[in-house]
Amino acid sequence: MNAKPPAPGLSDAGEHQPTTAAEGDVPTPQALAKGLPPAASFDALGLPPVLVNKMTGLGVTEPFPIQAATLPNALAGHDVLGRARTGSGKTLAFGLALLARTAGRRAESKRPLALVLVPTRELAQQVSDALEPYAQTLNVRLATVVGGLSINRQQALLRTGVEVLIATPGRLTDLVSRRDCILNHVRITVLDEADQMCDLGFLPQVSELLDQIPADGQRLLFSATLDHNIDQLVRTYLHDPVPASVDRVAGSVTTMEHHVLNIHAADKYATATEIAARDGRVLMFLDTKAGVDQFTRHLRASGIRASALHSGKSQPQRMHTLAQFKNDEINVLVATNVAARGIHIDALDLVVNVDPPADAKDYLHRGGRTARAGESGSVVTLVTPNQRRDVNRLMSEAGIRPTVTQVRSGEAALTAITGAKRPPAGPKTSTGNAPFRGMGTRPGRPAKESRKTADARKAAEARAAARVRKGR
């Protein structure tokens, strides 16, 4: 691990980063006034020496700001509300505290001592992978329970006894209702992506789970966008929590460039396809599962190594796809918001919103898959004329001033910003027709074409594609 610590947030309001906090963010002026002062080093925290040795071996030598701010309080047993930008090390901020405070204790069968709740299966696996080396060093048993995988295996693991359980709410609820997991020995509970865990989709289940955990236990809530969504849960389940917000602006990742590309609707697929054909990796977000599947099929037919990730896929497929992306077996991951929160992929320098996100928080989390831990990266949002107003509003809510460029597929500006290239010619389809390469593209078309001709061609192709979609 050779990550650089993210620059402290309070002094990084650069040209592209206005200082207004995103709407609804927890106010922060007194954020660090309460609780213990930040730790200057990991040594100062009194962590077990074997743990510090392991951290050093893995390149974790200096605490990142959110770790320095929250670890003293979390290790002292206080409830903590931790907010820091994407990719700033929140996993170890709660993970080290949880492991250090659990080490030396033994869980009874089915009764974990610490619980981490996360919104997606991929994130559960990732948190588990991140904590596993430290857990092993401390002789802490760790298990992950998520939907889509064998519940019997998870039940068997719980029966042997695990100290730390990492779970998605749905599967944990199933295990609890089967009496395969009993939460009355849980002493530390973490909600990662806490604001999402408190939204309407999750809150009832999360509350039911928290109701079964002893009320005097410790709770740690973390997110890059810890907003008023969490208020009700904080009031009901936390005791005098220490708010630790090390970033004034939720989206203040200074190593991240933000681009809005204004495009014609008819040219959207062609533009997105050329971006996908770039040499490096790219994560592309679309709104719907059907949209993700359709676009992925189109990219593959265009000779681009792409795979789809969304909640409609089986869990083994989802895991396989993510692993393929991390191992460079595919260049392009096309995903719904299921990949927006928490997921860490090394050396990912471009995220593209093919469909603009629904709100500022979605934008920050999607974009936060790049430019992590001090690395640099770009977030590109494709915007058609009728989406401009909404995207402008979203950007100002996110506190972001993007660079706005009008582009068309095939233009040098698109290549300069994204590394876009002409896609390799795709295979012939079984019908013998050339595969659909997206609106506005055709294999073998000469590079030189006047704007007027290109517009007329693209409009005609868009009409043809619409006719195909309507089954005419």
Ligand X SMILES: Nc1ncnc2c1ncn2[C@@H]1O[C@H](COP(=O)(O)OP(=O)(O)OP(=O)(O)O)[C@@H](O)[C@H]1O
Q: Which residues bind ligand X (CB under 6 A)?
A: 1, 3, 59-60, 62-64, 67, 84, 86-92, 224, 342, 344, 368, 372-373
Cα angle 287, 314, 370 (rounded to 5 degrees) comes to 45
Hey, which residues between 367 and 396 contact Mg ion (CB under 5 A)?
none
List the single partner that 278 binds among Mg ion, ligand X, none, CB under 5 to 8 Å by kind. Answer: none
In single-letter form, the type of residue at position 238 comes to: L
Contact call for residue 264 and Mg ion (CB under 5 A) = no
Tell me how far, at minimum, the Cβ of 302 lies from ligand X, in Å: 30
135, 164 in Cβ contact below 8 A?
yes
Tell me how far, at minimum, the Cβ of 245 lies from Mg ion, in Å: 15
DSSP secondary structure code for residue 26 in this structure: P
Residue whose pair of structure tokens reads 């030189």 in the numeric block: 448
Residue closer to ligand X by CB (options 84, 304) is 84
Which tokens is 184 given?
A: 């009355």
Contact call for residue 361 and Mg ion (CB under 5 A) = no
Could you tell me where the beta strands, DSSP code E, fall in 402-461?
A: 403-406
Alpha carbons 38 and 22: distance in angstroms, whole number = 24
Which CA distances in Å does 244 have to 65, 73, 93, 137?
A: 10, 9, 11, 28
List the single partner that 373 binds among ligand X, Mg ion, none, CB under 5 to 8 Å by kind. Answer: ligand X
331, 280 in Cβ contact below 8 A?
yes
Tell me how far, at minimum, the Cβ of 264 lies from Mg ion, in Å: 37
Position among 95, 342, 357, 402 found at the interface with Mg ion (CB under 5 A) = 342
List the single partner that 71 binds among Mg ion, ligand X, none, CB under 5 to 8 Å by kind. Answer: none
Site string for Mg ion, 57-96 (x = CB under 5 A): ---------------------------------x------
Contact call for residue 6 and Mg ion (CB under 5 A) = no
Alpha carbons 8 and 304: distance in angstroms, whole number = 39
Tell me how far, at minimum, the Cβ of 32 lies from ligand X, in Å: 17
Q: Please report which residue ranges of 230-379 form alpha helices under DSSP H.
A: 231-237, 268-276, 289-301, 315-326, 360-367
Hey, which residues between 296 and 335 contact Mg ion (CB under 5 A)?
none
Helix-strand-coil split of the chain, %, nearest 5: 40, 15, 45
Residue closer to ligand X by CB (options 60, 266) is 60
Residue closer to ligand X by CB (options 8, 59) is 59
Note the residues at the interface with Mg ion (CB under 5 A): 90, 342
